């Protein structure tokens, strides 16, 4: 329908100058290319352009602007708010997913449309890694530019702490390189400011040696939650930076290590990751191993396998939110545990507590991310199937935020939330950082072409 309103000559011209596909609703590949992770977002773009290089990104942007189409940029399509799909033009970067490792320099250059699986699959053979997302299918683009929180962060920092260079196509089609020496203000803004400033066609990240990684997934019936969460809190507050992970209420699946009595039921689980060998990891996590868990999976495994093991299914209805806590006393623990019982069960939803600290808290002043000094993050991550559960699922997530209000820092990690209004975007950066980001936005995208994101309004 929408394609009939486009100018044929401009569309044909774009197709002629493109080696990647330019899809309209009549193309057979359109329907399979269109979906994003959150099934609640069902938009039908007039055009999906899949560039293969920077010049084609610039051509697609010029086409979208000339035709007056709302432009969305898609990396891995994981935005819960549907920020990577519009009714106008989607610039879909999935072909630009090359990953080049420089083992000598311990760096990796990643295309703007690569996923975690692309990144970690390429670095693993060298025994090198950087902080990536917790699952394999998230796009490196949206993840890193938004900050990037993952299993390895307490030792290696957030993903953006490892960002060394970005190549970016601006709204005007100019190719700009931002590093610690060139375009420094833009470089700062790209450490959390998301897709506001242009299309990142490549990102260079620092790598770290990761000779061994141990993961331990322990499970308890939900009733044990208050005791387990207290113990987990005390354990993580004293744990070394090599230990990461999360405490998660979830529905027990059908595969091991879930014990029979927890299949399909609300369960309390802790995943502990440790950047080291299993014997050492077992010593470190001893306080958690003595709490009478009824399911366990402990072993040394490749980093990419840990991510794959935890992949969340696409195609569900999604609503997530987040709060950062300055403290997590017993009273807050009890409220956190009680609210888990409101989650939609059975479903792939997760009622999550992430520890921060370690390298996340260090360098807190470097970039526009005011939440990183908080020791804890709560992250209701709702995925469910039946639209009849929409209200219940949202109520659960909002209820958790309300319950924990007395301990919240007020700041929020924007990659963990949907569209929650302008105040929350400002809270994602802090007012002073927001003003500085708005000035960068005014320089690189004064017309706010890149507005499908946690949007920073260009300074007047």
Ligand X SMILES: Cc1cc2nc3c(=O)[nH]c(=O)nc-3n(C[C@H](O)[C@H](O)[C@H](O)COP(=O)(O)OP(=O)(O)OC[C@H]3O[C@@H](n4cnc5c(N)ncnc54)[C@H](O)[C@@H]3O)c2cc1C
Footprint on this chain of ligand X (rule: CB under 6 A): 37, 73-79, 83-84, 93, 112, 133-135, 138-139, 141-143, 145-146, 148-150, 194-195, 199-200, 312, 415, 452-453
CB of 331 to ligand X, least distance (A): 28
**Considering beta carbons, is residue 77 or 221 the nearer one to ligand X?**
77
Residue 282 vs residues 26, 154, 214, 240, 248: alpha-carbon distances, Å = 56, 18, 9, 13, 20
CB of 286 to ligand X, least distance (A): 26
Contacts of 91 (CB under 8 A, 6+ apart): 49, 51, 57, 60, 61, 64, 71, 72, 73, 74, 199
Distance between CA atoms of residues 54 and 189, nearest Å = 21
Write down the residue that tokens 């996590």 correspond to. Answer: 285
Nearest Cα neighbor of 396 from 326, 325, 320 is 320
CB of 73 to ligand X, least distance (A): 4
Nearest Cα neighbor of 49 from 204, 203, 202, 199 is 199
Distance between CA atoms of residues 418 and 81, nearest Å = 4
CB of 213 to ligand X, least distance (A): 16
**Considering beta carbons, is residue 239 or 456 the nearer one to ligand X?**
456
Cis peptide before 346 (omega within 30 of 0): yes
**Considering beta carbons, is residue 224 or 306 the nearer one to ligand X?**
306
Q: Do 214 and 299 meet the contact criterion of CB atoms below 8 Å apart?
A: yes
**Considering beta carbons, is residue 45 or 221 the nearer one to ligand X?**
45
How would you class 308 by CB atoms within 10 Å of its CB: exposed for 0-12, middle for 13-18, buried for 19 or more? middle
How would you class 1 by CB atoms within 10 Å of its CB: exposed for 0-12, middle for 13-18, buried for 19 or more? exposed
Distance between CA atoms of residues 178 and 200, nearest Å = 10
CB of 96 to ligand X, least distance (A): 8
CB of 372 to ligand X, least distance (A): 12
CB of 122 to ligand X, least distance (A): 17
CB of 219 to ligand X, least distance (A): 20
CB of 149 to ligand X, least distance (A): 4
Distance between CA atoms of residues 188 and 437, nearest Å = 9
Distance between CA atoms of residues 204 and 69, nearest Å = 31
DSSP string for 311-345: PPPSSSEEEE--EEES---HHHHHHHHHHGGGS-S
- CA within 13 Å, CB half, 142: 28
Q: Do 77 and 36 meet the contact criterion of CB atoms below 8 Å apart?
A: yes
CB of 168 to ligand X, least distance (A): 7
Contacts of 61 (CB under 8 A, 6+ apart): 71, 91, 169, 171, 173, 199, 449
CB of 76 to ligand X, least distance (A): 3
Write down the residue that tokens 């819960």 correspond to. Answer: 80
């Amino acid at each position: 329908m929408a394609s009939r309103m486009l100018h044929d000559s401009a569309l044909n011209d774009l197709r002629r100058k493109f080696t990647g596909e330019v899809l309209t609703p009549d193309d057979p590949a359109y329907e399979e290319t269109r979906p994003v992770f959150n099934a609640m977002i069902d938009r039908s773009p007039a055009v999906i352009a899949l560039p293969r290089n920077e010049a084609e990104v610039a051509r697609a942007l010029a086409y979208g602007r000339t035709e007056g189409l709302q432009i969305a940029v898609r990396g891995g399509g994981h935005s819960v708010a549907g920020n990577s799909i519009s009714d106008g033009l989607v610039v879909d970067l999935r072909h630009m997913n090359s990953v080049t490792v420089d083992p000598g320099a311990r760096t990796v250059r990643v295309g703007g449309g690569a996923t975690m699986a692309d990144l970690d699959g390429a670095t693993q053979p060298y025994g090198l890694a950087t902080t990536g997302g917790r699952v394999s299918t998230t796009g490196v683009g949206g993840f890193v530019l938004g900050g990037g929180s993952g299993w390895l962060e307490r030792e290696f920092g957030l993903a953006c702490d490892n960002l060394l260079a970005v190549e970016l196509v601006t709204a005007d089609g100019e190719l700009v390189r931002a590093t610690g020496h060139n375009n420094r203000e833009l470089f700062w803004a790209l450490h959390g400011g998301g897709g506001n400033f242009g299309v990142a066609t490549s990102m260079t990240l620092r790598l770290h040696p990761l000779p061994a990684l141990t993961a331990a997934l322990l499970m308890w019936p939900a009733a044990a939650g208050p005791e387990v969460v207290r113990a987990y809190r005390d354990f993580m507050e004293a744990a070394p930076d090599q230990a990461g992970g999360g405490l998660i209420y979830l529905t027990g699946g059908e595969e091991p290590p879930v014990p029979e009595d927890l299949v399909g039921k609300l369960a309390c689980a802790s995943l502990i990751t440790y950047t080291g060998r299993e014997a050492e990891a077992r010593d470190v996590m001893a306080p958690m191993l003595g709490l009478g868990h009824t399911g366990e999976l402990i072993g040394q495994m490749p980093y990419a396998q840990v991510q794959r093991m935890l992949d969340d299914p696409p195609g569900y209805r999604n609503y997530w939110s987040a709060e950062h806590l300055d403290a997590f006393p017993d009273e807050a623990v009890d409220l956190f545990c009680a609210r888990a019982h409101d989650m939609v069960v059975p479903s792939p939803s997760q009622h999550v507590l992430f520890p921060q600290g370690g390298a996340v808290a260090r360098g807190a002043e470097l970039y526009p991310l005011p939440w990183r000094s908080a020791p804890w993050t709560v992250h209701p991550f709702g995925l469910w199937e039946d639209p009849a559960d929409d209200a219940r699922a949202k109520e659960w997530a909002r209820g958790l935020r309300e319950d924990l209000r007395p301990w919240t820092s007020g700041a929020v990690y924007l990659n963990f939330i949907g569209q929650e209004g302008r105040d929350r975007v400002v809270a994602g950066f802090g007012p002073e950082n927001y003003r500085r980001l708005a000035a960068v936005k005014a320089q690189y995208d004064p017309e706010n072409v890149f507005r499908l994101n946690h949007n920073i309004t260009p300074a007047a």
